[in-house]
Amino acid sequence: MKLTALDYQIIKLLNQDARMSSAQISRLLRTPERTVRLHVNQLIEKGIVKPVAVVNAPHFGYDLVVDIFCEVEITQREVVLNALKKMPEISYIAFSTGDQDLSIQALFKNSASMHDFITRKLYQVPGIRRTRTVLVPQILKDTYQWLPPQEYNELH
């Protein structure tokens, strides 16, 4: 589906406030509410936007964020992935290139729980050869805040 300028404006507004009503969007964009509702429904049906709740981890006391880069035995990749997916501390798992095979992000309440996770839980996963942990003191832009570049419409 080719995005229109209206689609892009709607996505931008919903990205700022996902609870914004079609009526509010219609007033801000000076577009009929029915048109806005139609565009929002199409964006959802086509899978361009997903209406989801984003959990605020610090609200639950999870203020410590780390990125962990893992080197994995290729023959054990599925075993490692299945084990990592079950760990509630992990908020993000992705394949990566270069020296590391997997990139994960994990959330903790304190450094003791982080240390315990890395040395006892992660270390126990068969197939993980080596890890490198990076403390993330502040997230400046999160994945759910991403928007396609404005020029996307010009290219498609």
pLDDT tens string, the chain, 156 residues long: the values are: 688 999 999 999 999 999 999 999 999 999 999 999 999 999 999 999 998 888 999 999 999 999 999 999 999 999 999 999 999 999 999 999 988 999 999 999 999 999 999 999 999 999 999 999 999 999 999 888 888 887 655 545
pTM equals 0.80
Quick one: 46 and 87 in the same domain?
Answer: no
- Residue 108 and residue 67 share a domain: yes
Q: Verify that 41 and 88 share a domain, yes or no.
A: no
Write down the pLDDT at residue 143. 86
Nearest to 71 by CA among 107, 110, 97, 40: 97
Which secondary-structure segment (H or E) carries 71?
strand 64-72
Classify the phi-psi angles of 98: left when phi > 0, otherwise alpha if psi is within -120 to 50, otherwise beta.
left
Say yes or no: 130 and 67 in one domain.
Answer: yes
Q: Are residues 65 and 132 in the same domain?
A: yes
The whole-number pLDDT of residue 39 equals 96
Query: Is 27 part of any domain?
Result: yes
Instruction: Tell whether 76 is covered by a domain.
Output: yes
Same domain, 117 and 68: yes
90, 118: one domain = yes
Placement of tokens 């509702």 in the chain: 37
Does residue 154 lie in a domain region? no
- The owner of tokens 């219609």 is 26
Task: Give phi and psi for 7, each to the nearest 5.
Answer: -55, -45
- For residue 61, give its domain range: 57-136
Q: Kind and range of the H or E element at 93?
A: strand 90-95
Same domain for 42 and 65:
no
Looking at the structure of the chain, the number of domains it has is 2
**pLDDT confidence of residue 154:** 52
DSSP 64: E
The amino acid occupying position 133 is T
- Measured between alpha carbons, how far apart are the two ends of the chain, in Å? 9
